[in-house]
Amino acid sequence: MAPPAQSQRSPSPSQPSGVLIMVNSKSEVSDLKLQLRQLAGSRAPGVDDSKRELFKKVISYMTIGIDVSSLFGEMVMCSATSDIVLKKMCYLYVGNYAKVNPDLALLTINFLQRDCRDEDPMIRGLALRSLCSLRVANLVEYLVGPLGSGLKDNNSYVRMVAVMGVLKLYHISASTCIDADFPSILKHLMLHDSDTQVVANCLSALQEIWSAEASTSEEASREREALISKPVIYYLLNRIKEFSEWAQCLVLELVTKYVPSDSSEIFDIMNLLEDRLQHANGAVVLATIRVFLQLTLSMTDVHQQVYERIKAPLLTLVSSGSPEQSYAVLSHLHLLVMRAPYVFSSDYKHFYCQYNEPSYVKRLKLEMLTAVANESNTYEIVTELCEYAANVDIPIARESIRAVGKIALQQYDVNAIVDRLLQFLEMEKDYVTAEALVLVKDLLRKYPQWSHDCIAVVGNISSKNVQEPKAKAALIWMLGEYSQDMQDAPYVLESLVENWDEEHSAEVRLHLLTAVMKCFFKRPPETQSALGAALAGGIADFHQDVHDRALFYYRILRYNVSVAERVVNPPKQAVSVFADTQSSEIKDRIFDEFNSLSVLYQKPSYMFTDKEHRGPLEFADELGNLSIGEAANNVVPTQMVEENDKDLLLTTSEKEETKGSRNNGSAYTVPYDGSSTSVFASQAQIESAVSNPTLAGHSPQASFAIDDLLGLGIPATPAVPSPPQLKLNTKAALDPSTFQQKWRQLPVALSQEISVNPQGVAALTAPQALLRHMQSHSIHCIASGGQSPNFKFFFFAQKFEESSNYLVECVINTSSAKAQVKIKADDQNTSQDFSTLFESALSKFGTS
């Protein structure tokens, strides 16, 4: 048998397949060009079928990225046919390559203009749409004539296409569109055309054109206001049943901007739209509901009746349709429930979770059940939620337990709910126990009278079985708050302190410090050792908040033990109201944007559309004009220690002999002997120190007595010298492209939250002040953006006499006075030193 031809052999493994594809595609394109040229002028029977096959190949090649622009002339010549399918494929091809090659677009003008005069209205419309889609600025003069003819065409499809073509022309050349008086023609069509789709397209186009022109033209502003005049609104409402779903939503959106003159007009509009609440399309129903809610905002009684009227259509939409539609409707229903929970309280069973619903729908239904719970339905809702706690979907099980806790915190009669929560604590599921612990802690803060029952169950839980940070923090809080009622509390806390270095959560360490302090004032002999170890471990902690709290506790103990007890262990006061996660202002903003993505995202639109959240970087061109000061050379690193601590939080009368840095680079330390066991004092010593303010006064002897009591000795070792200061290049330079490239390549070396002082927050009304301030510390801004309350800055710095760069992303929230900082560095080893320098510079902003 003869070997196969060379062209039929499969490529060898060593041959790059991409080369073969390129060679084959070039030859295929050449073959297609020859075949198209042969068919261009042919009128033989079946030639259109042959053209279709060739056109399909061309479109498929174009779709997968093969350049077939060389076939442009042949494709245009083959388009001389009455076959609509061929026309569509040819227009698709022409539109694709005309955008990237305006010279080729010139070749299409003649045949598209010719097709705009074709006898077939479908071809006229397709040609006009393709002509307007070329979007080539130097061809706009060829669009005016066909568009004018299209707007006067007898066929509604052609007029509909022409209206949208006017909008495309406006975006290519606004002056050409306005000079041709197309907006006036569209207005006439909107008010007099018999086809509702043409009317809807005119309305959409006019809204966009006049909104864009209103900022520069008073006439356009008046025309935009005329769109929401009474004659136009009533004309559109009287024809609303003829519109498509999309067009109805467009009209209803316009109606929300109309301000009726009196209540009779409001009722007229609502009567006209009454049947839209029964529409099968969810978008139309939601748009109608928004109109009803907006119109009746100033009529309290009628507004409440509207809630009753819209309840049934919304609940019907939730139970029918896809999960995605159910979620969208539920999101809007949730917003209404938060404003009027009593209206929906009797319909709580509609919000029970179904086994086959996706998690995002179940989660939203749990929020709904929490919102509608009241004294009449609490028992049934809590019973249902407790069933979900055993759900195989662990996140839903967690949410259901949280929902039970939220209901408990908002009800007066919580007897049954507390029993359910305590049953959760006895379940042998870690995540159930963890969620229940957090809720019991909140419950005890609001209902201290339940402490006896709760502590009896909590005392049986081993801290070793609780691993989640929030749950462990809740357990530690209860151990400290109710240590007098829990026999093993000091010993459990001591075991946790012994594992201080193994605890990775700063939240847990903070709670542990406070709990040990509280326990010390209630059961001093048993907690003395744990408190000394906790203070020593806290001051040596890497986390700034933990370090600061431990230092505060240590100093206040040395200052006055009686004062420390009043500060750390004040009388218990029940928490009446827990803070809401969203302010009423934010909720009102979301309600104003009803029937939009704001409701689904549960945040106002500016939070996900403003420039600081998604826009491109605004590069700081003014940096070249900023003067570079010498202040950076005078920056004192935070590791440096002053000789006295009169400026500290609580001063002492004596100077500490040594103030070296611990391994966290802190400026202040508590002397600690480093031994694993503390020196125990006698019962009389401890009680005397706690109860006698004169012993715990300001004298050095009293301070040293506290040190001895807690097992904290004064070492005789010399002070550890502070590390050398990182020096930055005052004339650093980095172009934006290099910055962006490095930002993508380098990993995040440090990520931290920094507090901004109040003077700095006030100075951010002029963000350029921060740029100048940081530049005076040799830290330069390369990009900035945002508006109050969120500002984003990108900084860079360079080591002195080295090419090593530091890149910083700094997002400052003026409402919380916090800065989220991410640092990337060429030299990872010095990133911590730079972080300290950056924090020092930022902390001084606004103070000088």
Confidence band, pLDDT 50/70/90 cuts, at residue 200:
very high
Task: Count CB neighbours of 657 within 10 A.
Answer: 12
pLDDT at 100 over 50: yes
Q: Angle 359-372/394-410 helices, nearest 10 degrees?
A: 10
Instruction: Determine the average pLDDT of the residues in 714-730.
Output: 55
pLDDT in tens, 539-551: 888 888 999 999 9
pLDDT at 79 over 80: no
DSSP structure string for 298-322? T-HHHHHHHHHHHHHHHHHHHHSS-
Which tokens is 198 given?
A: 């043409």
d(CA 170, CA 209): 7
Question: Which pLDDT does position 184 carry in this prediction?
Answer: 93
Question: Is residue 755 within 8 Å of residue 817, measured between CB atoms?
Answer: yes
pLDDT in tens, 566-610: 998 888 777 766 766 667 788 888 999 899 999 999 888 888 887
In this structure, which amino acid lies at residue 27?
A: S
d(CA 451, CA 444): 6
Task: Count CB neighbours of 213 within 10 A.
Answer: 20
pLDDT at 299 over 70: yes
Confidence band, pLDDT 50/70/90 cuts, at residue 183:
very high
Confidence band, pLDDT 50/70/90 cuts, at residue 719:
very low
pLDDT in tens, 217-252: 888 899 989 999 999 999 999 999 999 999 999 999
> Quick check: pTM over 0.95?
no
d(CA 583, CA 815): 13
338-to-151, 306, 343, 402, 783 alpha-carbon distances in Å: 48, 15, 10, 18, 41
Instruction: Determine the average pLDDT of the residues in 194-211.
Output: 94
Q: Angle 121-132/102-115 helices, nearest 10 degrees?
A: 160
d(CA 762, CA 781): 20
Question: Which pLDDT does position 440 carry in this prediction?
Answer: 86
The larger pLDDT score, comparing residue 603 to residue 137, is at: 603
Task: Count CB neighbours of 676 within 10 A.
Answer: 8
The larger pLDDT score, comparing residue 651 to residue 96, is at: 96
Please tell me which of 180-189, 524-533, 778-787 the model is most confident about, judged by mean pLDDT. Answer: 180-189
Confidence band, pLDDT 50/70/90 cuts, at residue 661:
very low
Quote the radius of gyration of the chain (alpha carbons, Å): 37
Closest CA to 346 of 320, 374, 314, 365: 374
pLDDT in tens, 263-293: 999 999 999 999 999 998 999 999 999 999 9
Rounding to the nearest 10 degrees, give the CA dihedral for residues 493, 495, 496, 500. Answer: 130
Instruction: Determine the average pLDDT of the residues in 782-806.
Output: 86
Please tell me which of 26-35, 38-47, 303-312 the model is most confident about, judged by mean pLDDT. Answer: 303-312
> Over the chain, what is the mean pLDDT?
80
Question: Which pLDDT does position 516 carry in this prediction?
Answer: 92
d(CA 443, CA 425): 14
pLDDT at 663 over 50: no
Question: Which pLDDT does position 6 carry in this prediction?
Answer: 41
Confidence band, pLDDT 50/70/90 cuts, at residue 705:
low
DSSP, res 711: T
Confidence band, pLDDT 50/70/90 cuts, at residue 140:
confident
d(CA 2, CA 129): 56
Question: Which pLDDT does position 24 carry in this prediction?
Answer: 60
Confidence band, pLDDT 50/70/90 cuts, at residue 412:
low
* Residues in the chain, overall count: 848
pLDDT in tens, 440-487: 888 888 888 877 778 878 877 877 778 888 989 998 998 888 888 888
Question: Which pLDDT does position 580 carry in this prediction?
Answer: 62
Closest CA to 336 of 366, 314, 319: 314
